[in-house]
Structure 1
Amino acid sequence: MPPRHWANRASASALAIMLGCLPLSAETRTAFDPVLAIPLPEEPPLDLSEAHEPEIVTGTVTPASRPQDPAKQDAAAPLDEAAETITLDIPAVEMPAADPALAPATGPLRAVEPLVPLPEVPKVVITLPPGSEFAAAVVAALPEALTLHRLGERERAAIAAAYQANENRPFWVGAKGWNEAGKRIAAQLGRAAEDALRPNDYPLPVFEASDRDKLASADIRLSALAVLYARDARGGRLDPRRLSKLITPTLHLPSAEEVLSTLTGASDAGAALSAYNPPHEGYRRLKAKLAEMREHLDDTPLVRIPAGPPLKLGMRDARVPLVRARLGLGPSEEPVFDRSTALALADFQKKAGLPANGILSGPTLAALGRPASARGEEDLVAQMERWRWLPPDLGADRIMVNVPEMRVRVLRAGKVVHEARAIIGKPESATPIFSHRMDHVIVNPSWYVPPSILRKEFLPGLAADPDYAAKRGYVVTRTKGGGISVRQPPGERNALGWIKFMFPNEHAVYLHDTPNRRLFSAEKRAFSHGCVRVENPFALADQVLGPEWTHERLKRLIGSGERRINLPQPLAIHLVYNTIVVGEDGQITRFDDVYGFHRLVRQALEQQG
């Protein structure tokens, strides 16, 4: 038999054997989990003898002859395909009927309408914070809107940070312009002149309500102007220390954060802004007097005096008749700058805050060209400016030393309970202007000669006479640095007298007694080296030390050695420079500008304007 026929027979036989063995159940060995090493559950035997046995495909093999041994077959003999036929009886497979709904569409696809209508989706409403629509415009306008004269970089950065913290929403505008707070701030800025400030320093921005970019810029500019106004109201227009090293008040300038926080949280933003001006009674009286002065026009006829060289006593000049007419003097026979002209001019200079030397200089000529009311306004404005240098809270209990008035006052609960004459520093050793706190008193004090006096007086004297200090009752001590210290021991001749009132400060000045009490009878009392000498110092001690230390008890300590006594409570002390004071009756009292500080302030304000 050919090999191929033999292979076909073998395959059919193998298939029959395999199909016959299927009903048999094979034994299985117990299986174990390879990780846990525990027997797995036994699987049920596979039984194919049920009635649900699947139908087996059968066939009929019809050989032409019996198969021969393959070894006896001739491999080279041709294959007789007709010799054998294998017929397989494979039943037809019945397929379910096709679903008409799944038949492919013959036309274009159409949207299938849902059998159940979808529910309506509710509308989502998102409410944005008021002013959010300005955010982009605010960010864009910040750099330019904050460019304001005299507004420092620190304040500009703080204002920008305030807007960022507010999500770049405006503070003072809405869709139609200024909101209520913005209107009140703008109105207060417009009234800046009432508080002796310059309205031109706070120009209100102009905008169209329909222009969102302009609205955003206006809001930022109003914030910047409000910050500038608040700082000016607290004394930020001038730096007192640049005017003189002896004017050293501690300014209480508000930060931009404080101003904006205060104004945005106030029920009346305009009133909150106005409150940055000094709250003191002396300032309020000056403000009222300024308003009164502006209501009355000066009817003094102005005489225009041509410029020229300075005029002094005895000089002849064609301008002399004009000067006399301006000063209210009668005509003179000769155009000579005589004594009456010089005296009248010196009086004018004194009232104008100029050096009263009786010389027609350039500044004096300029002052003569302004009406008297203008000069009066400038004086009040300069005095009001110095009130801004004081702390907002002076203290209900305090000591006030008005240097130009040469007077000391003690106030309790805001009322004067003691006042006395004072001796102030000479013009070349002026008493400094500042605020501090008095905390102790020394009875029987020693006086250590200040470096300035040591350098000017004692060193030249010691160079000429080694006993110069000893002859005057002073003790000279060598210091570690190789210098000397000169001390005057306690006693009747001590320059500080029997008691001194201490408030340690950078100028090393204080209030004290003096052995030269006769000097208090003088009208002009600028005699000291800078400290303030007080008349009847033990009466002052009664006021500051309290009832425990009576006048008699203190005097019993005299001559018994240096003794320090602490005040029951530190007491605020203010050394001020008030050359113009308005009384309760509205009358103005003027004091000499003994150190020229008033003139410095007025000139600085004029130059700034």
Structure 2
Amino acid sequence: MRLRRLAESVSAAVLGLALGVATALAQGPGNEAATLGLPLPEAPALRILAGDVGPPQLDIPAPPELVLDLRPAGSAPELAAPLEAAEIVTGAISVTPRPADQEFELDVPLPEMPPVDPALAAKPAPKTQPQLARPAEPLIAPPALPEVVVALPPGLELSGRIAERAEEALSVPRLAQRERADILAAYAANENHPFWIDGKGWSAAGRLLAAQLGRAGQDGLRPADYALPAFEASDKDRLAEADVRLSALAVLYARDARGGRIDPRRLSKLLTPELDLPSATEVLSELAGAGDPGAVLAAYNPPHEGYRRLKAKLADLRADKEEIPAVRMPAGPPLRLGMRDERVPLVRARLGLGASEEPIFDRSTAIALAEFQKQAGLRADGVLGSQTLAALGSPPAAGLENDIVAQMERWRWLPADLGASHVVVNVPEFKMRMLRDGKLLHESRVIVGKPGSATPIFSHKMEYVVVNPSWYVPPSILKKEFLPGLAADPDYAAKRGYVVTRRGKSISVRQPPGERNALGWIKFMFPNDHAVYLHDTPNRRLFASNRRAFSHGCVRVENPFALADLVLGPEWTSERLKRLIGSGERTIRLPQPLPIHLVYDTLVVDGAGRISTFDDLYGVHRLVRNALEQRS
């Protein structure tokens, strides 16, 4: 019984070891791994030493021995007799000690295993023994791998070349260093991948962009300023340069279309428009993300109807410019109606008139000459003077083309958005107009500055109206007129109704409200650096003149209360404003700021395509035209 209890105490350990080696023992020592073809290691023999009490033995035959010593401490170090192998039978393990009278059996039932999935029956059982090293060469050699050819996309192929050649490609005249740096930064942000090149040349977007650059002449720009380089698709360096150059030319075009070709402030201190020149970053961001970058680039040109009419007239002139041949006109004295001169046949031929029996400067010649002068931007008096003679000697329509281009350039000085409601004062025309949603609401004659005190050209916003205004003499008039007058006569200002205020070394002169006030009864304020504004005037007879350049720079309005009725809204009608006259100075703010544009249009095309020209009052048109011709 003691042996049975001892056997039962180790049954759990025996069971664990038996199950671990059962599979290997069942296959036998000669079996090999199904997948690797390698012999499995031989399982160790298990010997259980139970002490000196009739030593039971459990032998599992295997070459190396694994001895589990269960004897009490101090027992004999060796067995009295060798152990015999245990016999594995189905459903039990039989342990048979050598002495027959101490024989017993240890029955250990086999564990129940789940049924095997037929789909997995052919697969080898998972390995339970330690991972064995694979042989140096497998039994079945793997198939040869096919050769792999990797073609780099154009972006990766050209990125290195773009980084190397970008500086050279950006050497575009008139492109400032800041724009060049922004273009380099745009490419760096794009990992120097091309924007406009694919594997064969221009991409679809690149072709649209290049086509718009080729149409630059239609907008009065100079196509030679945006000439693209030629390249071969196989020349990767030239491809990389072409991509960067196209970006640079697109930036230059966008800035030129917004008025960047010439700086108006360098032409005259009276020209102070705020140009909206886009940055290179802005241009490339809009173009790179556009479905049609060519259309986006074209949109940098002025969107105004007046500009589009000039563009259409320019196209008509260029289409018909070879119909009348150029004629060399000899110099001579001015020709007027009724005069006889040998140049008359040449003048008639140049104007497209038929031959006359006598070389007399008749009425038909004078009328045709006046029309030519009008279209050429000259004074349409029908007299053949030196300027008209020079214009007649120019290639047909070339002078008018240049005038149209110069006028188109001045449209670029205006904001792209003039305002839903806005006021426009065309200085050479001596006219003021208020428009709302493109429709004319009000038109009035105006008086502008004399050539010596010209009305400046700029855009601003009207903010408030002053009824019964005081007039503070501006510094220019104070210096030229009042200070010399006060030096000669201390009562010079008082005799004219002015109030002189001295503060230390400074002097201010104010004219109080009243009928004689230089500003009349009302003024329209849009505070600016030139200290000019729109206002009434007590001297209304000057509006009858055709050439109304009489002021010191401000704009005098013929019917100011009609304008006030429109800009102040329904709450302040002209009748209500007139009731305020003589009751003290009153400031009324507009419901919202109203854009006002002081422009210099010497050439205007109407809806029917007819050209109207106005005198170049301050010489601004000539300055712009000459600057553009020198640029070309």
TM-score after normalising by structure 2: 0.72
Aligned: 1:139 with 2:158: no
Structure 1 CA distance for aligned equivalents of residues 329 and 78 of structure 2: 138
- Output aligned runs, 1:77-476, within 5 Å: 113-115=136-138, 131-304=155-328, 352=376, 367-476=391-500
Match of 2:515 in 1: 492
Match of 1:529 in 2: 552
Q: Is the 8 A contact 2:273 2:414 kept in 1?
A: yes
Task: Compute the RMSD of aligned alpha carbons.
Answer: 3.6
Cα shift at 1:372: 3.3
Structure 1 CA distance for aligned equivalents of residues 269 and 242 of structure 2: 40
Cα shift at 1:555: 1.1
Q: Is the 8 A contact 1:305 1:319 kept in 2?
A: no
Structure 1 CA distance for aligned equivalents of residues 265 and 482 of structure 2: 30
Residue type matched to 2:601 in 1?
Answer: N
The SS at the match of 1:518 is: helix
Q: Is the 8 A contact 2:377 2:603 kept in 1?
A: no
Q: Is the 8 A contact 1:305 1:322 kept in 2?
A: no
Cα shift at 1:603: 0.8
Q: Is the 8 A contact 1:440 1:564 kept in 2?
A: yes
Cα shift at 1:483: 2.1
Match of 1:594 in 2: 617
Q: Is the 8 A contact 1:462 1:468 kept in 2?
A: yes
Match of 2:25 in 1: none
Cα shift at 1:303: 3.6
The SS at the match of 2:494 is: helix
Match of 2:574 in 1: 551
Residue type matched to 2:528 in 1?
Answer: N
Q: Is the 8 A contact 2:456 2:553 kept in 1?
A: yes
Structure 2 CA distance for aligned equivalents of residues 355 and 411 of structure 1: 29
The SS at the match of 1:452 is: helix
Structure 1 CA distance for aligned equivalents of residues 346 and 552 of structure 2: 39
Q: Is the 8 A contact 1:303 1:322 kept in 2?
A: no
Q: Is the 8 A contact 1:303 1:325 kept in 2?
A: no
Q: 1:141 to 1:365 in 2, by over 3 A?
A: farther
Q: 1:356 to 1:451 in 2, by over 3 A?
A: farther
Structure 1 CA distance for aligned equivalents of residues 568 and 555 of structure 2: 19
Q: 1:433 to 1:514 in 2, by over 3 A?
A: same
Cα shift at 1:299: 4.6
The SS at the match of 1:493 is: coil
Structure 1 CA distance for aligned equivalents of residues 144 and 379 of structure 2: 87
Cα shift at 1:387: 0.4
Aligned: 1:577 with 2:600: yes
- Identical counterparts, % of pairs: 67
Deviations 1:89-146 (A, max 9, x none): xxxxxxxxxxxxxxxxxxxxxx974356587899999896651110111011111100
Q: Is the 8 A contact 1:249 1:390 kept in 2?
A: yes
Q: Is the 8 A contact 2:274 2:413 kept in 1?
A: yes
Q: Is the 8 A contact 2:424 2:596 kept in 1?
A: yes
> Gaps (5+ residues) in structure 1?
1-45, 54-110, 335-340
Deviations 1:461-509 (A, max 9, x none): 11111101000000000024x0211100000100000000000001000
Deviations 1:34-67 (A, max 9, x none): xxxxxxxxxxxx98885269xxxxxxxxxxxxxx
For residue 524 of structure 2, the aligned residue among 501, 506, 523 is: 501
Cα shift at 1:510: 0.2
Q: Is the 8 A contact 2:378 2:615 kept in 1?
A: no
Cα shift at 1:287: 0.6
For residue 511 of structure 1, the aligned residue among 534, 537, 542 is: 534
Structure 1 CA distance for aligned equivalents of residues 375 and 475 of structure 2: 36
Cα shift at 1:414: 2.1
> Gaps (5+ residues) in structure 2?
1-71, 80-133, 336-340, 360-364
Q: 1:118 to 1:299 in 2, by over 3 A?
A: closer
Q: 1:187 to 1:324 in 2, by over 3 A?
A: closer
The SS at the match of 1:410 is: strand
The SS at the match of 2:187 is: helix
Q: 1:155 to 1:585 in 2, by over 3 A?
A: same
Aligned: 1:477 with 2:501: yes
Match of 2:543 in 1: 520
Structure 1 CA distance for aligned equivalents of residues 136 and 506 of structure 2: 110
Q: Is the 8 A contact 1:302 1:326 kept in 2?
A: no
Structure index of larger Rg: 1
Residue type matched to 1:237 in 2?
Answer: R
The SS at the match of 2:417 is: coil
Residue type matched to 1:220 in 2?
Answer: V
Match of 1:89 in 2: none
The SS at the match of 2:462 is: strand
Structure 1 CA distance for aligned equivalents of residues 607 and 369 of structure 2: 31
Q: Is the 8 A contact 1:300 1:371 kept in 2?
A: no
Structure 2 CA distance for aligned equivalents of residues 415 and 326 of structure 1: 42
Structure 2 CA distance for aligned equivalents of residues 237 and 193 of structure 1: 14
The SS at the match of 1:404 is: helix
Cα shift at 1:586: 1.3
- Output aligned runs, 1:11-90, within 5 Å: 50-51=76-77
Question: How many correspondences in the alignment?
Answer: 495
Structure 2 CA distance for aligned equivalents of residues 208 and 319 of structure 1: 60
The SS at the match of 1:437 is: strand
Match of 1:567 in 2: 590
